[in-house]
Amino acid sequence: MLNRRRSVPAAVLRFVVLLLGALLALVPFYYLIIGALQKRRDTGILGLLPLPRNLTLDNFAGVDGSINLIRSLLNSLIMTAGVVGLTLVFGLLAGYALAVLSFRGQGLVFALVLLVQAIPFQLLMIPLYVMVVRYFGLADSYFGMILPFAVNSVAVLIFRQYFRQIPPDVFDAARIDGAGEVRILISVAVPLVRPAILTAMLVTFIGPWNEFLWPFLVTKDASMQPLAVSLANFSQANSTFQANPMGAVLAGACVLAIPAVVLFVLFQRHFTSANLGSAVKG
């Protein structure tokens, strides 16, 4: 009884500490939204609780008037969808091969996948630019923006680890029934690693959706630029921005962040490990 009484204050203290930590983590997002809604910028503490008369949607309207927001969102969506789709296809194939199949050089291939993690993208940017723009002629094209991100080594590692958790008896039973490796991958393995697919989708989505440098290099046509590049190029000379130019920047950041937040909220309940062993009878 005494131990139970002692555990109650400890549980309350733990809850309070976690609640404070969560609130502190949300402060930057709150400030982002409040800053985007302010008519006149207020960087003081009181700016976190602005007066209603200082709130407006003019910053969002100003951004929409300075850039082709719908076109930029569509470009970002096409680029991101292409990267996510190719990442899932190649990631599932490579992860399955590295986890389930046995072939000569398997360890070397896995080591190369790990090595890619240590090479920054900026180191490869110049040769990639020469290859994509000069040799392939893919400037100002969706394929030129998608191609360097088509294979994501992080997704390969995620799928490999999940496939390794599936009992080998599952694959052996499918082979006894006459299924080929592609059929096993599509009909047996993929349904069992849905949490990995959702995780890889979210991890992959954030990268190309917020990518700025590579699309900025390969797209000079404003109609082909994704949202991150368009927001960096939009004019702040419009009279709408004179009172609060930073508000327009924060409004653009909100537009860029909303899809990623919505996607996480929709998928976060699926980020749990599946009961992979339930597929084995007995």
All structural domains of the chain: 2-56 (no CATH), 68-241+250-279 (1.10.3720.10)
Percentages helix, strand, coil for the chain, rounded to the nearest 5?
75, 0, 20
What pLDDT is stored for residue 85 in this prediction?
A: 94
Residue ranges, the chain, pLDDT below 50: 2, 235-240, 273-282
What pLDDT is stored for residue 3 in this prediction?
A: 55
| Phi–psi pair at 35, nearest 5 degrees | -60, -35
* Whole-number average pLDDT of the chain: 80
* Whole-number percent of the chain with pLDDT over 70: 83
Counting Cβ atoms within 10 Å, is residue 250 exposed (0-12), middle (13-18) or buried (19+)?
buried
